[in-house]
Amino acid sequence: MTEERAIISCRDLTKVYVMGDQKVHALRGVSLDIHAGEFVAIMGPSGSGKSSLMNLIGALDRPTGGEMWINGKELSRMARDELADLRNETLGFVFQQFNLLSRQDALANVKLPLRYSRGDAGDLDARAKECLEMVKLGDRLDHRPMQLSGGQQQRVAIARALVNRPRIILADEPTGALDTKTTAEIMELLTDLNTKGITVVLVTHEPEVAEYATRQIHFRDGQIESDLANVPPSRAAAGG
């Protein structure tokens, strides 16, 4: 861990998958820190290790070796229930496929994570509605996924990721199923959430999408190839 504690910290992470009689080394000694409020794009070709890293950050998988810290907690020391609480309370997930329940309206889809919250969720409808209003879908509360465009469905998915008020949003190819115009709208939304203090970690293979991030980490063969600060065009313009 660094002296100034990072919200996400990896030390010498390795991940090996056993496939039959072969071993696939997905991560080879990865160390990095991500601090609160950063907007990080993780890039690399297929098989470079970026998705494996995202699964470890999201506490969806365990490393073969090394240490993984999230919000000051070392994941290998946590029980399954504790990991579930971490995912529910600290992390919000956004995926390429929207993963919405087709028979439920937008409000019900956004409320879903609150059903698994152990804390006092308060007024579920009010909180879900607030999140839908944040993504500019306050007038689509009763619409089912089939009644929404792809971009609107992804906004519902982002609202669902926000409903437990996470400190970190993990977005895995969130624009992969969207056209160029809708991609820009979704990335502007993630940028806006980041400016409000939410840490965003994004996996993408699209350079145009990565340009929205303030930091770009490129993976190759399970290792970090480069880790560079980036000034998104919109923020550069805002800075004058």
The closest alpha carbon to 94, from 33, 37, 36, 177, belongs to 177
Torsional class of 149: left (φ above 0), alpha (ψ -120 to 50), beta (otherwise): beta
CA dist 178 and 222 (Å) reads 28
> Which of 4-8, 74-78, 146-150: highest mean pLDDT?
146-150
Q: 120 or 205, which is more confident?
A: 205
Kindly report whether the global pTM for this prediction surpasses the value 0.75: yes
Cβ contacts of residue 215 below 8 Å, gap of 6+? 38, 39, 40, 41, 227, 228, 229, 230
Residue 129 phi, psi (nearest 5): -65, -40
Rounded Cα distance between 51 and 45, Å, is 10
**CA–CA dist 28, 37 (Å, integer):** 27
Q: How is residue 22 annotated by DSSP?
A: E
pLDDT band at 114 (very low <50, low <70, confident <90, very high): confident
Question: Do 221 and 197 touch, CB atoms closer than 8 A?
Answer: no
Assess whether pLDDT exceeds 70 at residue 106. yes
- What is the chain's mean pLDDT, rounded? 90
